[in-house]
Amino acid sequence: MATEQATATAGNGPEREPRRRQEKVGVVVSAKMQKTVVVEVERLVMHPLYQKYLRRRSRFMAHDEKGECRPGDQVTIRETRPMSRHKRWIVQSIMVRAGAK
């Protein structure tokens, strides 16, 4: 019995599957930096008293390796490791181009 406990605790414990990364859809509002874009994500929040929906916006800096994004593009961003002081997201795909509708 003691050997079973020793072997179970000797390893790093049960293997965990990698954490599922968050994904968000937003609009590029700035692409003036090199390999970095600012993406604005909008969400609806219900007011606690009046029960009306309010629009809340969050801005995220995302890494754009190829520099393809332009202001107005609708993009999908995915959570990643910290790349700089403010960058923790990466552009996964461009869903809709700014001029194309």
Q: Which residues contact 76 (CB under 8 A, 6 or more apart)?
A: 23, 24, 25, 91, 92, 93, 95
- Could you tell me if 36 and 90 are in contact, meaning their C-beta atoms sit under 8 angstroms apart? no
**2 in a domain, yes or no?**
no
- For residue 1, being part of any structural domain is answered with no
CATH code for the domain of 33: 2.40.50.140
In a domain, residue 72? The reply is: yes
| Res 98: pLDDT | 86
Residue 101 falls within a domain, yes or no? Answer: no
Question: Is there a domain that residue 16 lies in?
Answer: no
Does residue 74 sit within a domain? yes
Count: domains in the chain: 1
Instruction: Say what the pTM is.
Output: 0.78
Would residue 80 count as lying in a domain? Answer: yes
pLDDT in tens, 56-82: 999 999 999 999 999 999 999 999 999
pLDDT at 5: 56
Residues of the chain with pLDDT under 70: 1-13, 101
Task: Confirm whether 13 is domain-assigned.
Answer: no
Task: Domain of residue 75: give its range.
Answer: 23-96
